[in-house]
Structure 1
Amino acid sequence: MSFCFSFSGAGNVLNAILDAILIFCFGIGVAGAAIATVISEYLTAFILLSKLNDKVQLMTPNVDAGRVARYLKSGGLLIGRSLAVLMITTLATSMAAREGAISMAGHQICFQVWLAVSLLTDALALAGQALLASGYSQGSYGEAREVVYKVLQIGLITGVALAVFLFLGFGALSSLFTVDSEVLKIARSGTLFVAGSQPMNALAFVLDGLYYGVSDFGYAAYSMIVIGVISAVILLVATYFWGLAGVWAGLFSFMTLRVAAGILRLGARGGPWKFLWSGVERESA
C-alpha cells in the first residue's frame, strides 16, 4: 500500500509541474491543464500496474467465472454510486453557473477548496478500509469493531480540526485564487459552508471506506442513489429561493444525508454489520 500512496503522490506532483509548464510557459490554458492531467494519470496507472504485476499475476489462463461475475456486480454497483455523486456535483455547478459569472467564479473557489480539503480525509477512509477488511475477513470481529469506532472518532476529530483551520484561514486562502474583489466577496461569503461542512465530509468519506471494508457495496450504491435524488430536489428548491447559498445548502445536505445513511446502516444490527453488535449483546446477556 505504501508504494501505491507514493506513486499516487508522485503523479499529483507531476500533474502540478506539467500544469505550470503547459499553462504558463506554452500558454495553452485550460487545454494544457487537461493534457497535464491525462499524462499524469496514464503514467501513474502504468507504473502501478507494473508494480502490481511483480506481486500478483494480472493475466491468467484460468478464469473463475463466479469470481468474475461477483467482480462485475460489485463494479457495476460502485459505478452507479459514482454516477449519483457526479450527478449532484454537476447539478450544483450548473445551478451556480446560472447565478452569473461572478457568482460562478466565487462558487468554484469555495467548491475546489471544499473538495480538496475534504479529500484529505480520504486517506483515513483507505486506511480504515484496509484494516477493517483484514480483521473482518479473518473473523477477528473484536479487532474489526475497534477499527470502526477508532476510524469514526479520528475522522470526526480531523473534520473539526479542518473546520477550525478553514474558518480562520479561508479568507487568506481564497486570495490565492484571484485578486478580483467581487469574486473574493462571493467566495468569502461561503466560509461557513466550506468550514462548517468539514466534520460531515470527514465522516461521509470514512463511512465510504467502512462500506468497502466489509464489501457492503449494495447498500453503498443504492443508498447513494436515493440520497442523490433527494439532494437534487433540495438543490433545485434551495437555489430557487436562496441563489448561491442554496447551492451550498444543497451540497451540505448531500453530505449530511450520507452520514445519516451510514449511521442507520451501522446501527441496523444486520447484514455484514452484525459483528458490531455481537459482542455488545453477549456482554449485556
Structure 2
Amino acid sequence: MSSRTRTKRPTLNLNLNLNLNLPIADIHDILPEYGFPKGIIPNVVKSYSLSSVNGSFEIELEQPCYVQFDKDELIYYDKNIKGVLSYGSVSHVSGIQAKQLFLWVSVTGMDVDFNKGMIQVHGSPMLNPAQRYLTLRALGAPAVLLSLAMQGVFRGFKDTRTPLYATGDSLNIILDPILIFVCHLGVNGAAIAHVLSQYLISVILLCKLMQKVVLLPPSVKDLQFSRFLKNGFLLLARVIAVTFCVTLAASLAARLGTTPMAAFQICLQVWMTSSLLSDGLAVAGQAILACAFAEKDYVKAKAVAARVLQMGFVLGLGLTVVVGLGLQFGSGIFTKDKNVVHLISIGIPSKLKFMIYSHQFVAATQPINSLAFVFDGVNFGASDFIYSAYSMVLVSVVSIASLFLLWKSHGFVGIWFALTIYMGLRAFAGIWRMGTGTGPWRFLRGQSWK
C-alpha cells in the first residue's frame, strides 16, 4: 500500500551537515536538515531523542492528534512515535497511521520525492497479501455457513462422529504446501486450499444428512422462522462480540510492527487451537444437557454440567503443561525468524519490572479458556441464549477498553494481559450464572424454570 501526501514546501538542504552535539530546542529544526518539512511532525512535541549513530528517534507528543495534509489525506499520530531517520527517508516507523478510504493503515516508512515535492507514505507490507487472502477466502463463506449449520444438526442427533470423519482439513493440509511453494501462489494458494476444503466438507455433510432426514419440510410453517431468527440474532450478536475482541487484538498487534504481529499470530493460533480442544467437551455436554432439560431431569442436568466442567478444568491443566513446553522449546517449528522466536519464547521486558514471556500467557490461561468454552456449551444446552449473548456483549465492552489501555501502556505484553482478562470474564460469566442459580439453573435453589 502506498499513498502520496503533498507537502506545502519541502525544504532541501543538500549541503548542510547536522551536528547533533549542538543543543537544538525543537525536533522541527532538525527535520529540514534531512529533507523533510517541519510540518510532518505536529506542533505538540513534549520530548524527543535522536541517535547520532543510527538515526533512530523517539518522539513523545503531549497527546495523540490528527493532521489533515490534503483534502483526502488524514494522518493519525500516536503519543509515542518511533523510527529511523536518514536523509530523505524514515524507516521502521511506529505510532503513525494513514486513513485509506474507510480503513486506518499503519505507516511503516516515508520517502521524500524531491522532484515532485511529495512524500511517499508506505503502509504495512502485510496489507496487500491480507487483502488478497481475505478476498479469495470470502468465496468459501457459503460453504462455511452451510457446514456449520449441518454440524449443528448432527450435534442435535448426538452424532459427533460424522462431522469428525467429514473433515476437509486433510485436503487443506495437502494443498497448502503444493499451492504455496510448488505453484508459487503464496497467500493466494493458502486461501484457495481453504476454500476447496470447506466446499468438500459441505458436500460430504450434505450427502450424509440427506440419508438421515428429509431436507424440505412439507410446509413453510414447519420451518419455524421466528424461533430461528430470535435465537439466531442472539447468537449472531454473541459471535460478533467474540470476533471483534480477537480481531481488535490482532489489529493492535499489527500496529506494533511485522515482528510482533507474526509472534502474536503464532501465539494466538496455538492459544485458540489448544483451547478449542475443550469445545469437544462443550459439544457433548450441550447435547446431553439439552435432552436432560427437555425431559426435566434436573438431577441428570446437574450431574452432566458438573462432570463436564471438571473434565474441562483438568484438560486445561494438561494443556498448560503441553503448550508451555511446546512453545518454549518448539517455537522454531512455526518460523525461522530469530526475532519472532525471541519474542515468543525468550522474554519481553515489561514496565512491571520483571520479565514476561508471551508463551506463559498462552499456557497459563488454558484452564481459564477451557472453562470458558465448556460454560458456553453448558449455557447452550440449557437454551440460555439470551444470557449468553448479553453477557458476551458486556464482556466484550470491558475487554475492548482493557485492550486499548493495556496496549498503550505495555504494548505486546498488554495485549496478552487484555486477552487473559477477556477469557477470565467469559469464564466468570458462566460461573456467576450457575453459582447464583438464576435462569435455567433455578432448580439448584429449588425453583422451577419456565
CA deviation after TM superposition for structure 1 residue 141, in Å: 1.3
Q: Distance in 2 between matches of 1:66 and 1:4?
A: 23
Q: Which secondary structure does the structure 2 equivalent of 1:239 belong to?
A: helix
- Normalized per residue, the structure richer in strand is 2
Q: Which secondary structure does the structure 1 equivalent of 2:224 belong to?
A: helix
- Partner residue, 1:22: 179
Q: Identity percentage over the alignment?
A: 45
- Partner residue, 2:259: 102
Do structure 1's residue 37 and structure 2's residue 205 form an aligned pair? Answer: no
- Partner residue, 1:260: 428
Choose which of 311, 336, 341 in structure 2 pairs with 1:179.
336
Counterpart mapping for 1:1-285 below 5 A: 1=159, 2-8=161-167, 11-64=168-221, 67-188=224-345, 189-278=357-446
Tell me: CA distance 1:108–1:57, structure 2 relative to 1, closer, same or farther (3 Å).
same
Q: Which secondary structure does the structure 2 equivalent of 1:243 belong to?
A: helix
> RMSD value over aligned CA atoms?
1.5
Contact 1:160 1:198 in 2 (8 A): yes
The unaligned stretches of length 5 or more in structure 1 are 280-285
Runs of 4+ in 1 over 4 A off after TM superposition: none
Amino acid across the alignment from 1:128: G
Amino acid across the alignment from 1:6: Y
Q: Distance in 1 between matches of 2:361 and 2:424?
A: 12
Amino acid across the alignment from 1:191: H
Contact 1:19 1:32 in 2 (8 A): yes
CA deviation after TM superposition for structure 1 residue 277, in Å: 3.9
Q: Distance in 1 between matches of 2:330 and 2:184?
A: 25
Q: Distance in 1 between matches of 2:446 and 2:324?
A: 41
Q: Which moved more, 1:155-164 or 1:167-176?
A: 167-176
CA deviation after TM superposition for structure 1 residue 275, in Å: 3.0
Q: Distance in 2 between matches of 1:205 and 1:244?
A: 25
Amino acid across the alignment from 1:199: P
Q: Which moved more, 1:269-278 or 1:110-119?
A: 269-278
Q: Distance in 2 between matches of 1:33 and 1:277?
A: 52
Q: Distance in 2 between matches of 1:277 and 1:15?
A: 49
Contact 2:368 2:424 in 1 (8 A): yes
Compute the TM-score of the two structures, normalised by the length of structure 2.
0.60
Q: Distance in 2 between matches of 1:276 and 1:68?
A: 33
Amino acid across the alignment from 1:232: I
Tell me: CA distance 1:275–1:42, structure 2 relative to 1, closer, same or farther (3 Å).
farther
Task: Give a deviation string over 1:88-110, Cα, whole Å, max 9, x none.
Answer: 01110011111111111111111
The unaligned stretches of length 5 or more in structure 2 are 1-158, 346-356
CA deviation after TM superposition for structure 1 residue 65, in Å: 6.5
Q: Distance in 2 between matches of 1:69 and 1:3?
A: 29
Task: Give a deviation string over 1:55-77, Cα, whole Å, max 9, x none.
Answer: 11211131236822011111111
Q: Distance in 2 between matches of 1:168 and 1:187?
A: 12
Q: Which moved more, 1:124-133 or 1:146-155?
A: 124-133
Contact 1:163 1:195 in 2 (8 A): yes
Tell me: CA distance 1:51–1:171, structure 2 relative to 1, closer, same or farther (3 Å).
same
Amino acid across the alignment from 1:274: R
Contact 1:145 1:275 in 2 (8 A): no
Amino acid across the alignment from 2:196: I
- Partner residue, 2:54: none
Q: Distance in 1 between matches of 2:274 and 2:428?
A: 21
Amino acid across the alignment from 1:27: H
Contact 2:217 2:223 in 1 (8 A): no
Contact 2:327 2:344 in 1 (8 A): no
Q: Distance in 1 between matches of 2:332 and 2:218?
A: 56
Q: Which secondary structure does the structure 2 equivalent of 1:204 belong to?
A: helix
Amino acid across the alignment from 2:414: G
Task: Give a deviation string over 1:10-46, Cα, whole Å, max 9, x none.
Answer: x111111111221122111111111111111122112
Amino acid across the alignment from 1:54: Q
Q: Distance in 2 between matches of 1:230 and 1:121?
A: 24
Q: Distance in 1 between matches of 2:443 and 2:174?
A: 47
Task: Give a deviation string over 1:207-264, Cα, whole Å, max 9, x none.
Answer: 1111111111111111111111110000000010000000001111100000111111
Task: Give a deviation string over 1:130-161, Cα, whole Å, max 9, x none.
Answer: 11112221222111110000000000000011
- Normalized per residue, the structure richer in helix is 1
Name which one, 1 or 2, has greater alpha-carbon Rg.
2
Compute the TM-score of the two structures, normalised by the length of structure 1.
0.93
Amino acid across the alignment from 2:439: G
Q: Distance in 1 between matches of 2:300 and 2:221?
A: 31
Tell me: CA distance 1:4–1:277, structure 2 relative to 1, closer, same or farther (3 Å).
farther
CA deviation after TM superposition for structure 1 residue 123, in Å: 0.7
Amino acid across the alignment from 1:198: Q
